[in-house]
Structure formats: structure tokens, C-alpha cells
Structure 1
Amino acid sequence: MKPFTFTLRQEPPQRVDLSALTPDRLAGKSVAQIEAIELGVTRISTKVGDLFRVSEGDLKTVRFEGGSSRFDLLGAKLLPGFVIHVEGDVGAQCGRLAKGGRITVAGSAGPHAASGNLGAEIEIKGDVGDFLAGPLAGELAGMAGGRVIVRGKAGERVGDRLRRGILVIEGDAGEDLGARVIAGTILVLGEAKGRIGYLNKRCSIVLARGGCFGSTYVDCGAHDLTFARFFARSLRDHSASAADLLSRKLRRYGGDTAVYGKGEILTPD
């Protein structure tokens, strides 16, 4: 059955809040009611019908034909069992507080993607902005579950205060990767720039090309890690390159000893 589809008519004249366009919030509404939903974030009115042509379909899958860097909060609080696909770019906070389901973005995403994600699978085929999976100002923890795959590069502060879940960056990552992480797993297949794993408490950070993580990490030697090989199997269908990295012999650095020291950075031996 064809998906419920929003086809972009024109570039939004302002940033728009798409949090209302998730399957559970659309259920029971007619096309006319959906077209009347207000999306604008300023005093200037911008409704669904102004931006999109709406085509009815199976609400288990919502598809956006056309994207924009002004599409904020796409898939926010998405529930398990539903799918959202965007054929284009999205803006800030994609997948914010998503409880489950799957979000795929054919283009790039703005800052704070997967912020507060609780269980959704999110795939971004382009690049992603700063604070991937990181908290908003005033929040004590970032992403708390789920899996995020970024096929391109990521901005600064990837995984800031990550509490749980898996982040895979197939391209490069910006400054302060894994800063203040609480737990979870981060894999970077490209270059990780600048300081890495600052105040890491219990997170596993896996780097294909190594990086700068300072004297507060202790070299624990090279290991054939059985758990890493089992983990690689679960990632094989989502990122073959990440699975290959985990299947290799890895050198472990324990830290950050400036805090608990129970985290680790793993690099190819």
C-alpha cells in the first residue's frame, strides 16, 4: 500500500515545526484538516496546505517528497511501528525524543538530530550538524536509546552527554567527539578531529583512524574482543564498514580517568 505522502510545493518562507506530522497525530484527520495544521513558528501563518500537496495513504509510513533545511522537529516523539522518510534535507532536532520507529533522511540534517532519542532507528544519508544526539540547553543527558547511522560527516560535539544507544559516523567527526558521555557506543570511520572523549564516564568510543584523547586515557594493550565481534554481527546489515572495524584486533585505552575511568577508546591495533 502506498505511503501517506507530503509533496513539497515551495521552499518554506520561515522555519517550520513538523512535529505535528507524525502518523499518530495525523490519524483520524481528513486531508482538509491536515492542510489546515499550522506549522509556522512566527506571527506569519504557514499551514501544511501552503507548503505541501497531501496524498492519502497508509499512515504506517509517512513520506516527504522534497526536503528543506528549514524542516525542524521532523519525527519528534515518533512512536514504535511507524516509518518516516524524507527525500531531501531536514533542519534541526530531527527525531527529537522519538520513542521508536524508523526515520530515514535522503539528504542532510541540521543540529541536534536524535536529541533525546529513546529508541528510534535514524539513518541520515548526507551530513549532520553539531550536537548529534546531544541535549538541548539545560538538559542533563542526551540520547537514551536507539541507533543512528550517518553516512556522511558530522559536526562538533557528536554524542554530547550520550546516555545510551549507538551512533555510527561513516565520515569525519568535528571537535569534541564524545564529550561528557555517560554511556553508550560511538563509532567513527573517518577522521575524528580535536579532543575526543573528554570526561567520558562509561562510553565505548571506536575510532577507525585514532585521534587525540590525551594523557587521562591509559593504554591497556591490544585485544581480540569477543563482545566486539558479536556486536559487529548486529551492525553488519546497517553499516558493513563499522562491522569490519569491530571485527579487527583493537587496542583499548581506558578512561577518562579524570572522572570514573570506566569508559574506553578503541582503535585498530
Structure 2
Amino acid sequence: MSGLILTTRDSAGPPIDMTGVLPDRLIEGGREALAGLMLVRGRERHRLDALFALQDGGPSGGLVLQPGDAVLDGVGSGMTAGELRVEGECGAYAGSAMRGGVLTVEGNCGAFAAAGMAGGSLRVLGDAGDFLGAPLAGGTRGMSGGSVVVMGNAGDRVGERMRRGLIAVHGRVGGLCGARMIAGTIVVGAGCGPGAGQAMRRGSILLRRAPEAVTPGFVDGGMNDWLFLDLMRKELIDGGAWPSGFPTAGTRARRLIGDRTAGGIGEVLIVSEA
């Protein structure tokens, strides 16, 4: 089955809610089912083919979005299979509640990317906003599976309440990275703001350098060899998730354990040169 390329007809105006615009719908109902999908833009509802020009192309059974200057919210929200690529930037909630498939954003994305994600893969070639991999607004469950790779920077509260999966940010992240984290792995390539691991119960946060201020409730476990780092490095390099500034060999890391004030035994590992 041929894929489809969706190009925004009019970039001016309020954000477009892209909920339901998924490869699943194309595979199950064909081009007609996708073209007739009703989308919300501002206070109005429009057929998808009134907002986007459709043409064959892209990956087989997949979708390519060309937003121009339009803001697309909810891209890939609830995605379960297939491939979706954004040739540009997108708004909030990219890949939220995602359960499968591959979503690629070639520019930046807004807040709540991968929020409530349970599976699949999200790759952002630019920056991500606040609440990456955190709970959906009003929710209590953060990311519980899948993988997220951000080639640029990310905002505050990356991986808040994270339960499982991988978040790798090649650049810098803001404050409260891994706050209230329950399990999973967060890798940060270029430093993070204050409050890393606050109220963390379990899980691992890997940093290239110590956070600006070590969160109270963490104790210093000293510098040690961690053999699992070799296995993790190989896996993450293969997936493009090992930040370029991280050492390419060695198992040395300084381990901070906490958050003891929350009864936590999570870890912040500051990865050392070989």
C-alpha cells in the first residue's frame, strides 16, 4: 500500500488537532477514510482534506506531514503501528499515549511529547518542550514503555513519574528531570537543571556531568565500575541514543543514590571517561 503525504493548505490560523491522523486509519480504511476524518481547528471542525492536500508518497502504509508554518498538536497521539514522519515542527502532545510504531519529527516539538507513552519509538531531530515522557495533563502515570530520542535540548520535568522505557536527550534538560520517577532510564548528554531525581523511587539517570545542585536526599555512593554500562552503551549506540559527548568506552561512574527522603533507591550515574 502506498503511503500518503499531507501538506497544509493554509498555515495561518489556530493549531490543528491531529488526533486520529494515524497510519492505522490509512491501513484499515484507505485514503477515503483518512480524507473524511473530522479535525478540530480553533472552534471549528473541518474535513481533513479541507485542511490538507493529499498525494501518494512516503513509506508504504505510512504518513508524511508537511505542516509549513501551521501548528499541529497531537501528532501521533495514540499511535499503535506504522510510520509517521513530520517534515518540520509540531506542537504539543506529539506521540502522547503512543503504544507502537515509529514517529519522527524533523524539527522541534512542544510540551507533553511522549506523555503517557507505553510503546513505540519517538525521534525528535530538534528540541522538545516541558514534560517530555511525563504524565498527561491531570494524569498520574508517566511514560511506561517505548523509547524517545531527542537530538537537541528538552525542557523541565523530563520523565516525571516515568515507570519504564528509555528517554535519551543529546543536549541539555531543564529542572526536575526524573522527578517522582518509578523505573526506567533517562540519559542526558549536556547537563541538567536543579532537582534531578527529586522524590525518585527507582530507575537510572545517566549524566555526563554532575547536576547543578545535587538533590537533597541523595547520598554519594562513590566512583565504581559498573559492567552493565558496556552493554547499555552498545545497545544505545545502535539505536542512536548514546549522546556524542559520552565516553565510548569504560565502565566508571560516580553513583548518587536516592531519593532517600521518599524511601527511594534510584540512581544518578555520572559517567566518567574510560
Choose which of 238, 241, 249 in structure 2 pairs with 1:239.
241
Asked if the contact 2:37/2:47 (under 8 Å) is kept, the reply is yes
- TM-score scaled to structure 1, two decimals? 0.91
Shift of 1:69: 6.3
**Which residue of 244, 251, 254 corresponds with 1:251?**
254
Letter in 2 for 1:120: G
Counterpart in the other structure of 1:201? 201
Kindly indicate whether residue 179 of structure 2 is the aligned counterpart of residue 147 of structure 1.
no
Quote the residue 1:224 is aligned against.
225
Q: 1:70 to 1:95 in 2, by over 3 A?
A: same
Percent of matched pairs sharing the same residue: 34
Which runs of 5 or more structure 1 residues have no equivalent in the other structure? none
Deviation at 1:233, TM superposition (A): 0.8
Q: Structure 2: how far apart are the matches of 1:179 and 1:240?
A: 22
> Deviating runs (4+, > 6 A) in structure 1?
none
Residues 1-269 of structure 1 aligned to structure 2 (within 5 Å): 3-11=3-11, 13-29=13-29, 31-56=31-56, 60-67=61-68, 70-80=71-81, 82-211=82-211, 212-237=213-238, 238-241=240-243, 244-245=246-247, 247-248=249-250, 249-269=252-272
What's the CA shift for 1:27? Answer: 3.3
CA contact (8 A) 2:201 2:259 kept: yes
Q: Distance between the aligned counterparts of 2:95 and 2:123, measured in 1?
A: 10
Q: CA deviation at 1:136?
A: 2.0
**Alpha-carbon deviation of 1:140?**
1.6
Q: Give per-residue Cα distances to partners, 1:49-84, cap 9 Å, x unaligned.
A: 23211123565321112355621111112113x111
User: What's the secondary structure of 1:168's corresponding residue?
Assistant: strand
Alpha-carbon distance change, 204 to 23 in structure 1, aligned in 2, over 3 angstroms: same
Quick one: which amino acid aligns to residue 184 of structure 1?
G
Matched position secondary structure for 1:222: strand
* Letter of the 1:206 counterpart: L
Moved more, 52-61 or 246-255: 52-61
Deviations along 1:172-199, whole A, 9 cap, x unmatched?
Answer: 1111111111111111111201221100
Deviation at 1:88, TM superposition (A): 0.4
For 1:204 and 1:240, locate their aligned partners in 2 and report how far apart those are by CA, in whole Å.
15
Structure 2, gaps ≥5 residues long? none
Deviation at 1:44, TM superposition (A): 2.2
Stretch of structure 1 that moved more, 195-204 or 137-146: 137-146
Q: Which amino acid aligns with 2:254?
A: R
Residue identity matched to 1:38 = M
| Alpha-carbon distance in 2 for matches of 1:130, 1:148 | 14
TM-score by length of 2: 0.90
1:80-139 Cα deviation digits (max 9, x unpaired): 3x1111100111111111111111000000100001111111100011110001112332
For 2:190 and 2:19, locate their aligned partners in 1 and report how far apart those are by CA, in whole Å: 32
- RMSD between superposed Cα atoms in Å: 2.1
Q: 1:223 to 1:69 in 2, by over 3 A?
A: farther
Separation of aligned partners in 1, 2:50 and 2:247 = 47
Say which is worse superposed, 182-191 or 30-39, in terms of deviation.
Answer: 30-39
Relative distance call for 1:119 and 1:243 in structure 2 (3 A) is farther
| Secondary structure at the counterpart of residue 49 of structure 1 | helix
Q: Deviations over 1:131-188 (max 9, x none)?
A: 0011123322110001100011101111111111101111111111111111111111
Question: What is the deviation of 1:210?
Answer: 1.2
